[in-house]
Chain A
C-alpha cells in the first residue's frame, strides 16, 4: 500500500509528557498537511509544508507544538508538555501541488 501512513495509531500519555507522531506521505507528493480533529468537529488546520519548508502555521499551534519535514519526505509532529486539551485525532495528509488531499488514518492522542 503506497498511501499516507501515520504512526503510532494510538498514544496514551500522562499530562506533562512529550509525544511525537510520524507521517509518511505518498512519495511523489510535495505538500504535507497536519490537521487536528476533536469529537464532533471537522478537521482544523495546524500547519503545512511544501517540500521541506514549513509555509504556514495556525495560531492553534502553540509553542508546545513543533513540526518538521526534513529532506521533504516524512514529517514529525511533536507536542511538548502535553495537556488534557491536546487529546484529539491528529491527521496527516499529502497532496501534489495543492490538489486534493490524501489522508492517513490518523494518530489518536489521549492525555490522562
Chain B
C-alpha cells in the first residue's frame, strides 16, 4: 500500500528564517515523490520531484528536498523564508499511474 504522512498540519516561521516541512511515505516499490504548493484560490503547482536520480532535489523558488530511503522521508526545506512562501504544501507519492497526496502543511510566514 502507498501512503503519505505530512507530520505537521501547520508550520509558522519568521521571514528570513529556515523552513522545514516534513513528509514520510510508505511504498511497496521505489517511489517517485513530489512536492506541490497551493496558494489561496490558485491551482496546485509543482515545486520539485524525485525520480530515482540525485537524492537531493532542487526546485523552484529556492526550495529543496532530500530523499532518504532508510528513513522513508522526503522533507522540504528552504534556507530563508519569504512572505510569498505562505501557502499550503502537499507531499505526493506516485506508484504506477496513481498519485497519492498527503493531507497538507499550511505554512505561515510572519514579518
Contact = CB atoms under 8 A, between A and B. Distances in A.
Interface string B69-111: 0000000000000000000001000101111111110000000
Nearest to A108: B41
A105 B46 contact: no
A25 interface: no
A41 B100 CA distance: 12
A8 to B, nearest CB: 15
A45 B99 contact: yes
Contact of B97 (A35, A42, A98, A104): A98
B99 A104 contact: no
Contact of B43 (A42, A100, A104): A104
Interface in A16-37: 31, 33, 35
B34 interface: yes
B104 A41 contact: yes
Interface of A: 3-4, 31, 33, 35, 40-45, 48, 50, 55-56, 91, 93, 98, 100-106
Given A43-B90, A50-B97, A100-B49, 8 more contacts: A4-B43, A44-B101, A45-B99, A93-B44, A98-B97, A101-B46, A102-B46, A105-B42
| Interchain residue pairs A-B with the least CB separation, the first 7 | A42-B101, A103-B44, A105-B43, A103-B43, A43-B101, A42-B103, A42-B104
